[in-house]
Structures are given as structure tokens and as C-alpha cells.
Chains A and B, each alone.
Chain A
Amino acid sequence: MFTGESPDNYEQKCLCVLVLDVSGSMGGEPIRQLNQGLQEFHQEVTKDFLASQRLEVSIVTFGSSVKCIQDPALVGNFEMPTLSISGSTKLVDGVRLAADMVENRKEWYRNTGQNYFRPMIVLITDGEPDGDQDVKGLSTQIRQANDSKKFTFWALGVQGYNHQKLSQICPPNTPPLSLAGYKFSEFFKWLSNSIGIITKSAEGERLLLPPVSGWTQMEM
């Protein structure tokens, strides 16, 4: 009969930066639902053994100011914070901070000899960037990063968001998705399932992600 022991290898990492809108318009039910969704996302990833060993989550919030409230960490190494609202919508600054964090983390992976999956940035917003925000510049930056495979970029629009502006920012291969109502829980369930698939995939593989029908609506 065949038998044997396996060595204790560490897993390769996959970074997901959540860029979350905490502007005033997210007050009340939206922020409550978003917080609940984040908690459930944390629980779902924790339950998936491989994803919990591979996925590093980081959280950037943007309102009147931009903050990194969670540095990249495996889900077992942090507790999901509770978000509170603050003012306007520095969306572009938030995404730019996330892009910088991706580059810094990749450099750290390389310097410490770690393999990694292509990082992803997930933007969630219910509004449109403040008037002084450089949407065009961000759009160019995101598209270049997408073309050179620096990271993948997904955006989720919440009730009242500006679809045209968000479409301008997103790369053509990942257009913005529109959240039905405040179904954050369903979205984060989908995200954790998708991450489960991504972190078990080979580079370049056609990924069959779960259907989005439970939480999206068409936006024309």
C-alpha cells in the first residue's frame, strides 16, 4: 500500500484591498448593512481553510479623508473593524492609496521570497468622487495597471452611485457591478466564494465565478 507524510509548506498569498465609501450618504441603513456584510465576509473566509491561509485582506476607507484602517493580514490575524461615516467622497485618493499598498505589498512579497497571486482591489461606493478628484487620471492609472496585470480591479455601485463615472474608472473587462438594494451580505458571500476559487486557480485560468444574480441589478 502507499503511504507517506507531507511537508509543512507555507501557502502563497493573495492580497485583496477593500476600498470602502464611508461618506455621509452611506449613513444609516447602508453603513449598517456594509458592516454586517464585512463581518460575514470575515467568517466565510475563515471557514475556507485554503482561502484563510492565502487571502490577505486590507481595508481603505474614504470620506472627507482617506485612511488605511487595516493593513494586509490573513483573516485569522485581525478582527473586522466597524466602519463609521465621515463627510465627502475622496474616492480617487482612496483607490490610489490602495494601488500604492498593492505595490508595497508585492515588493514585500518579493523581498521576503513569497509567491503571490495577482492582487485585487474591490471598490464599494454609493456616490461620485468629489469635484476636485482626478477621475480621468485614475482611469488611466487603473487601465494601465489592468493591462500590465499589476492587479485586478472590481467596483460595486450602491444605490445612488454615478454609473457613468464608475464606468469611466473601471477597465473594460471588469465594468462596475450594481448592488441591488443593500444586499451587502449577499455580495460579500459571493466575494468570499470567488476568492475561494481565485486562490485555488492557476494563473491565466478561465475562472468560473459564482453567478452574481443574487445581489446585482442591471444598470443602463
Chain B
Amino acid sequence: MQQTDWIFAFASVIGNSHISENIPCQDACRVGVFDKFTVSVVTDGAGSCKNSHLGSNQVSDFCIYHAEKLITRQGWVTEFPNQEVWHDTAKQILITVRKDLENYSIEHDIDFKSLACTVIMAISLPDGLLITHIGDGRAGYCTQEGQWLPMITPFHGEVANETVFITSDIWNDDLVDLYIESNVISGQVSAFCLLSDGCEKAAFEVNLYNSDKSIYYDPNRPFPAFFNPNRTGLTKLHEQLKSQDDINNLWAEFLTAGTEKLRLETDDKTMVLGVKIIQAI
């Protein structure tokens, strides 16, 4: 008999500028592996907010907790939701997470807005992937045929790195669908990635030049030469029976300086890489 499983590498590493300015890492990530589904979260605290490192960690924990409860309750392991159902449900999860964050701010006497962070959450189910997000960062997946594709569009304001956060005032009916994007990737997915914007220039094609049209553009394309070797690397580490901590430590090393772009990046860097494996039982 065969069994399908997901294996992961996930880590957050502090950016060079945050080290020199004595600011904590404001990114966070979590992966929850449950019976027949997984929940992965990447959060990126707002640079302008002094408690955003707390916000990103809390939001990551709350997302895992509420998503796990919801998937179990909805029975989506056997019945994959459609786009509309998932989007409505994703909004409900994020509203609940925001409420939990508000309660946390009250309990700890912290200004709620100072906990600002973006959030990307992906749920892998037997019949596909569910993804939702607020703000920037990137996410992509690899088809069974080996093609890497984007699964969200980051939200950017007028100037670079301007975005919205889970704490932003985006929750009334007129606005919420502009700022929360949810997508359903049905069918077989062989790998996926979630990353904070600190990793995007190293791992995605995000700012290329079209000389025919004399314009720059953002293809929002996961870069295969970045992801495919790492997918192989993760599989090998799993075969070597490395612990999750060992894998994550190696992943953190790679995110720190594994390519020249990663080495030069000054922002915090966070990435979750999930790879589907089939093993005999």
C-alpha cells in the first residue's frame, strides 16, 4: 500500500538591517500537520509597528488553531470546497484570528495596531490546496507535471513595500473582498511555497524588463531554478531521516545566504516549502 504525505522545510531568519538596528525578526511561520491535511502560515510584521513581531507570532498560532478546527468540522478532507465557499470561510477564519489578536492586545495592554502583520495561509487537502492572504508576500505551487505557478497576487500600495495588514481597517463589506484574496487549487499539486516579501526577489520573478515594450513588469512567477533543487534537497533530507528541526536549521542557513540575492537582502526572510511524497506503508 502507498500513502501520500507532505514534508516541509520552514524557517524565518532575521534581516541584516534588523540586526544592525537591533530590531527583532518580525516574520513568523508555522506548519501544522494533521490527519490527511496540513496548514501552513507565513506572517510578516509591519516594520513601522513596534510590536509586530508579537503580532506575527500570535497570528501564525491563531491561524493554525482555527484552520485545524474548521477543516475538521467542515469535513473538507473528503469533500473539497469550491472557490466561493472557501473564500467565505477564509474570511471567517481571518476575522476570528483578528478577534483573537484584539483579545491578546487587551490582555497584554498592547496597542492593537502595533501588532500589524500580513498573513498568508495555505491548507493542503487530498484533492488540492486552499490559499488565502492579506497583504504582500508570494505563494506558488507546482503541478503534477512540474510547472510552477503563482497562487496569490500580493497587495501593493502606491510606493514600494506599502501594503495592508490584518489589523488594517479593511473589514467592512465594501472593502473586504478587495483586500482578502482566496483561491482554490484543485487537482494534484506536487509542491508549494509561501514566502514573505523578503524572499521574493530571490525566489520569484517579480520585476523583469520587456525591451520590446520598454516596460518593467511583474510576472509573479515562482523561479523553477530556485525551487526544483530545493524540492530535491528536502526529499533527500527526509530520506536521510533528518528531524524537522535539522531540516529547518538547514533551511534557515539557506535562507540566510544560500544565493547572492538572499545574502544581500536586508529584510527578514521567511519561507515554507512543502513537497508531496508517496511512500510505501
Contact = CB atoms under 8 A, between A and B. Distances in A.
B99 interface: no
A206 interface: yes
Contacts of B261: 6, 9
Determine the main DSSP class of B at the interface with A. Answer: mixed
A207 to B, nearest CB: 9
11 contacts: A2-B230, A2-B234, A2-B250, A4-B225, A4-B226, A4-B259, A6-B202, A6-B259, A201-B161, A203-B162, A206-B48
Given A4-B226, A9-B207, 13 more contacts: A4-B254, A7-B223, A9-B201, A50-B266, A113-B217, A113-B218, A115-B207, A116-B160, A197-B17, A201-B47, A202-B46, A202-B267, A208-B21
Interface of A: 1-12, 49-50, 111-118, 149, 197, 200-206, 208
A12 to B, nearest CB: 4
B260 to A, nearest CB: 7
A10 B209 contact: yes
B216 interface: yes
Nearest to B260: A6
| Most chain A CB inside 10 Å of its own CB: which residue of B161, B208, B261 | B161
Contacts of B217: 113
B3 interface: no
B146 interface: no
Interface in B38-79: 46-48, 50
B9 interface: yes
Determine the main DSSP class of A at the interface with B. Answer: loop
B233 interface: yes
A3 B228 CA distance: 9
B233 A205 contact: no
A57 to B, nearest CB: 18
B7 interface: no
B159 A112 contact: no
Contact of A2 (B159, B223, B251): B251
A204 B167 CA distance: 15
A3 B253 CA distance: 10
Contacts of B47: 201-206
Contacts of A49: 264
| Most chain A CB inside 10 Å of its own CB: which residue of B156, B160, B225, B229 | B160
Contact of B160 (A5, A112, A203): A203
A10 B226 CA distance: 17
Given A201-B47, A202-B267, A206-B48, A7 B204 contact: yes
B156 A115 contact: yes
A7 B214 contact: no
B258 interface: yes
Give the 5 A-B residue pairs with the shortest CB-CB distance, closest first.
Answer: A205-B47, A204-B48, A203-B162, A2-B254, A202-B47
| Most chain B CB inside 10 Å of its own CB: which residue of A2, A11, A112, A113 | A2
B215 interface: yes
A13 to B, nearest CB: 8
Given A5-B223, A206-B47, A200 B266 contact: yes
A133 B43 CA distance: 51
Nearest to B116: A204
B203 interface: yes
A6 B203 contact: yes
A193 to B, nearest CB: 11
| Most chain B CB inside 10 Å of its own CB: which residue of A200, A202, A206 | A202
A206 B203 CA distance: 27
Contacts of B102: none
Given A203-B159, A204-B48, A204-B162, A2 B266 contact: no
A204 B46 CA distance: 8
Contacts of A115: 156, 159-160, 207
B149 interface: no
